[in-house]
Amino acid sequence: MNKPSLRDLKKEATAHALADAAFELAVERGLDGFVVDDVVQRAGYSRRTFANYFSCKEEAVATAVIPYSSNQQHEAERLLENLPENTSLLDALYQLMKLQFLEGLLLKMREVVSLSNTHPTLEPYILSVFRGLQNSAMETLNGLSHGRYPNGYTHLLVGAVYGAMLPVIDGTLNVLLPGDTVTDEQDATTFEEYLETTFRYLRNGF
């Protein structure tokens, strides 16, 4: 992977600042409680700059769940370098999932999905972000496969694992995210436990 230039890093920082401002306003006021002018004022940029990165405030809000890509790229590179040569794609994906689904991302995704329940215009942008995470994992696994697996294997693997994440993010399953308060409810499991269970099923069968 090529090291990002200073120009690329600045562009990424600008997009990140605008997205974070939009997310904060959405949480504070609801999606109908602010406009793009509020976003650029909080982030300290112009409306024209906003238009260079996002088509609307919904896209900016959804994009806020993604951490700095250059930071994650660096972490992914280090992860790949430290994996044993004979590591299976399933084990590599397990490590990538722990890298991608950090505490902040999970909590932000659940917040954005909650907002989408009353503002369906957010949904296509949330799906786009989620798809981007899938594609990133797919590219990494394809780079590790070296022809050891049949065509379509990585698609099946990534599809199964990321599909298992959706009910966690939308709150369908009683899974406690990092930072959630533990309650007396039965059948609650932590995200780490849920992730372990998902991969145990994939390794050993259902």
**Domain-terminating residue out of 39, 64, 89:** 64
**Residues of the domain holding 129:** 65-206
> For residues 78 and 73, what is the distance between their CA atoms, to the nearest angstrom?
9
Query: Is the confidence at residue 186, as pLDDT, over 60?
Result: no
Mean pLDDT of 46-71: 88
Task: Judge contact between 34 and 26, C-beta under 8 A.
Answer: yes
Does residue 119 share a domain with residue 60? no
DSSP 16-36: HHHHHHHHHHHHHH-GGG--H
Which among 20, 35, 64 is the end of a domain? 64
Q: 189 - beta bridge partners?
A: 175
Is residue 130 domain-shared with residue 40, that is, in the same domain? no
What does pLDDT average to over the chain?
86
pLDDT higher than threshold 70 for residue 113 = yes
Residues 2, 58, single domain; the answer is yes
Q: Are 81 and 120 found together in one domain?
A: yes
Q: Examine the domain organization and report whether 198 and 138 are in the same domain.
A: yes
Looking at the structure, do residues 21 and 73 belong to the same domain, yes or no? no
**Residue 45 and residue 88 in one domain:** no
pLDDT of residue 112: 93
What are 131-163's pLDDT values in tens digits?
Answer: 988 888 888 888 888 788 888 899 999 999 999
Rounded average pLDDT over 35-54: 97
Alpha helices, H only, 87-190: 89-100, 103-116, 123-145, 153-169
Q: Are residues 60 and 107 in the same domain?
A: no
Quote the number of domains for the chain: 2
Buried b (16+ CB within 10 A) or exposed e, 5-33: eeeeeeebebbbbbbbbbbbbbbeeebee
Give, in order, the Cα–Cα distances in Å from 92 to each of 9, 21, 205.
27, 34, 18
Average pLDDT over residues 95-105: 78
Residues 113 and 167 in one domain: yes
Q: Could you report the per-residue pLDDT of 77-88, keeping only the tens digit for each?
A: 676 777 787 888
* Mean pLDDT value across residues 186-201: 87
Whether residue 202 sits in one domain with residue 145: yes
Query: Of 64, 86, 115, which one is at a domain's C-terminal end?
Result: 64
Domain shared by 86 and 167, yes or no: yes
- The residue type found at 154 is T
List the CATH number of the domain containing 12.
1.10.10.60
- Are 27 and 104 in a shared domain? no
